[in-house]
Copies of this chain bind each other. A is one copy, B any other.
Amino acid sequence: MKDKFSFKLIKQSGSARVGIIETPNGNIETPAFIFCATKAAIKAVDIERISESSTQIILSNTYHLMLQPGEDTVAKLGGLHKMMGWNRPMLTDSGGYQIFSLGHGSVSEEIKGTRKKQKTLIKINEDGAVFRSYINGKTYCLTPEKSIQIQQKLGADLILVLDECTPFHVSKEYTQRSMLMSHRWAERSLNEFEKSNHGKQALYGISQGGVYQDLRRESCDFINNLPFFGQAIGGSLGQSKEQMYDVVSFTMEHLKKDRPTHLLGIGGIVDIFHAVELGIDTFDCVHPTRLARHGGALIKAKNRDSISSKCKEHINLRNQQFELDDNPIESDCLCFTCRKHSRAYIHHLLKAKELLAYTLITIHNVFFMNKLMESIRQAILDDRLDQEKSNWASLDLAFS
């Protein structure tokens, strides 16, 4: 029987590349963006609008779904695809990121020294992580094996090994110990995965090692030598964009080139161009959809000229300047929102706290990201990625 998963490289231009990930639920043309349907729903948008916005793949979070409705309920309902009515590729993460970020606090909270929510992480040890449900306080234990079992019940096409998301503010020694434990967890994940893999899912390993080149090299070698289908760059990527680019760049030099490579949690336009140039194939981030729920609409560099905006990648439709602006978010955009509605209408909906505002901006941002990735793929095929960048990102940022 033909393997249902494959990764084919179509074209390379510099280190950037166009490829196809084949899955039982269809193909993913890469570079691709993966949108967050955290709790088995893209927030505020029905799945048909997501589908008609050229979306190739979405992800759900194991952490949220194991707590509610529980993986057994999802399995009884036929798995994530059937439960939510999505028949294209899906990814689930391992649950680790939320356990550790809710436990330690997020990277930004860590850097800023702020800590708002109650800690839910009780302990981490060799076996796994013990944490408290944010819904009802019940205690859960997530081990590498358990994470795979849960992801098998959820039934996404692409799944991830459990790793410890090392905080940024720890010593190199801590980072090393954490990396070695995540390596042992990766092996345990793989063993558990292979026990009952019937070709319906494919597993990704995750490179660790924080910002330390020697640790990253060691981690890449380790992941390269295990039979993962794909690989992700995880762990701490540093304190600044520059450091993040350095870490990704260094890591990419050491990872195998024949596997689809995912960069966890990155979704800015400029960041995506940088990472694609380094050979990254897929991205995920809450940014485009979360931004929408704060009134932020993504906008191409060339459409930004007439608008005063502090941010270079989006406009905030809450701003008073849009009260009477009856242009669509982008006049050259063919998304549902831009074909039907004006900035002024969405501005009104935001002021009136109408949920429809979040729906409409999310649809635009999803469509925008898919068009961005499509343009990136075409530009790689045409060996003109650098020129393409100027259509989407301001030059001052793009070439910083």
Binding site for B on A (CB under 8 A): 39-49, 64, 68-69, 73, 76-78, 83-85, 323-324, 326, 336, 340-342, 344-345, 348-349, 351-352, 354-356, 358-360
Which 5 pairs between the two chains have the least Cβ-Cβ distance? A39-B352, A44-B355, A41-B354, A41-B356, A85-B340
- In whole angstroms, how far apart are the Cα atoms of A232 and B172 in the complex? 76
Residues of B with C-beta under 8 A to A359: 44, 46, 355, 359
Residues of B with C-beta under 8 A to A43: 354-356
- In whole angstroms, how far apart are the Cα atoms of A354 and B41 in the complex? 7
Q: Within the complex, what minimum Cβ distance (angstroms) separates A76 from chain B?
A: 6
- In whole angstroms, how far apart are the Cα atoms of A356 and B356 in the complex? 11
Is the beta-carbon distance between A68 and B355 smaller than 8 angstroms? Answer: no
Is the beta-carbon distance between B336 and A78 smaller than 8 angstroms? Answer: no
Is the beta-carbon distance between A324 and B355 smaller than 8 angstroms? Answer: no
Is the beta-carbon distance between A348 and B46 smaller than 8 angstroms? Answer: no
Is the beta-carbon distance between A326 and B358 smaller than 8 angstroms? Answer: no
Is the beta-carbon distance between A68 and B348 smaller than 8 angstroms? Answer: yes
Residues of B with C-beta under 8 A to A352: 39-41, 64, 68-69
Contact (A354, B324) CB under 8 Å given A46-B360, A336-B46, A344-B77: no
Residues of B with C-beta under 8 A to A342: 77, 83
Q: Within the complex, what minimum Cβ distance (angstroms) separates A1 from chain B?
A: 30
Residues of B with C-beta under 8 A to A49: 46
- In whole angstroms, how far apart are the Cα atoms of A69 and B346 in the complex? 11
Residues of B with C-beta under 8 A to A39: 348-349, 352, 354
- In whole angstroms, how far apart are the Cα atoms of A102 and B207 in the complex? 60
Residues of B with C-beta under 8 A to A340: 46-48, 85
Is the beta-carbon distance between A48 and B356 smaller than 8 angstroms? Answer: no
Q: Within the complex, what minimum Cβ distance (angstroms) separates A330 from chain B?
A: 17
Residues of B with C-beta under 8 A to A326: 77-78
Is the beta-carbon distance between B41 and A77 smaller than 8 angstroms? Answer: no
Residues of B with C-beta under 8 A to A354: 39, 41, 43
- In whole angstroms, how far apart are the Cα atoms of A358 and B39 in the complex? 15
Residues of B with C-beta under 8 A to A46: 49, 336, 340, 356, 359-360
Residues of B with C-beta under 8 A to A83: 342, 344-345, 348
Question: Which residue of chain B lies nearest to A39 when distances are taken between CB atoms in the complex?
Answer: B352
Contact of A69 among B48, B336, B348 (CB under 8 A): B348
Question: Which residue of chain B lies nearest to A356 when distances are taken between CB atoms in the complex?
Answer: B41
Is the beta-carbon distance between A349 and B41 smaller than 8 angstroms? Answer: yes
Residues of B with C-beta under 8 A to A76: 324
Residues of B with C-beta under 8 A to A48: 336, 340
Is the beta-carbon distance between B324 and A73 smaller than 8 angstroms? Answer: yes
Residues of B with C-beta under 8 A to A349: 39-41
23 sampled A-B residue pairs with Cβ under 8 A: A40-B348, A40-B352, A41-B349, A43-B354, A43-B355, A43-B356, A44-B355, A44-B356, A44-B359, A45-B356, A46-B49, A46-B336, A46-B360, A48-B340, A68-B348, A68-B352, A73-B344, A73-B348, A76-B324, A77-B324, A83-B342, A83-B348, A84-B341
Q: Within the complex, what minimum Cβ distance (angstroms) separates A289 from chain B?
A: 12
Residues of B with C-beta under 8 A to A47: 340
> Could you list 11 further interchain pairs (A-B, Cβ under 8 angstroms) beyond the known A39-B349, A69-B351?
A40-B345, A40-B349, A41-B354, A43-B356, A45-B356, A48-B336, A48-B340, A73-B323, A77-B326, A85-B341, A85-B345
Q: Within the complex, what minimum Cβ distance (angstroms) separates A98 from chain B?
A: 14
Question: Which residue of chain B lies nearest to A45 when distances are taken between CB atoms in the complex?
Answer: B356
Question: Which residue of chain B lies nearest to A69 when distances are taken between CB atoms in the complex?
Answer: B348
